[in-house]
Amino acid sequence: DRLGEGDSNLTIDDIDNVIKMYLSAKALGSQDEEIKWTPIRTFSFTHEYLSTIGFGQVVPKTAAGKYLTVLMGYVGIPLYLFNVVMWGKALKKLLNLLFLPAYKKYKKTQEVFHAEETTIEGIRIEKLPSNLV
């Protein structure tokens, strides 16, 4: 309380309170029960590992499991990235298919700018293009 009010002098009681809060938070957060591998946790672990998120809640315990995880990473991470790129290309094609006709129609309704017909004095810039700002 008083530390929040600007008093910067620490006492032994303040340190004891911080240690007690730390120990109580640690006891709440770390339960040493074994987490079982279910199909959904296995899928979650695989996704987290291959996408390199790595939350680390479920991890292999045996040496064989650890070696297989490294092997899965060597093969799976490039395949996962390839999959993400392919989904991105498919999404780009879908968005082009949906929005390109509307964009072309919009462009046809806009006034066409011909450089040879316009002099620099006739051009008035209302707003700078975003790439020049």
Which amino acid appears at position 127 of this protein? K
The DSSP secondary structure of 77-119, one letter per residue, reads HHHHHHHHHHHHHHHHHHHHHHHHHHHHHHHHHSPPP-GGG--
- 43-86 pLDDT tens trace: 888 888 888 887 777 888 899 999 999 999 999 999 999 999 99
As a whole number, mean pLDDT of residues 86-103 equals 91
- Min mean pLDDT across 7-11, 29-33, 34-38, 52-56 is at 29-33
**Rounded CA gap, 75 and 81, in Å?**
11
Residue where the block lists tokens 């279910």: 38
Say whether 32 sits in a helix, a strand or coil: coil
Angle at 130 (CA atoms; ends 129, 131), nearest 5 degrees: 95
pTM, rounded to two decimals:
0.50
DSSP state of 121: G
**Rounded CA gap, 75 and 68, in Å?**
11
The answer for residues whose C-beta is within 8 angstroms of residue 73's C-beta and 6 or more apart is: 49, 50
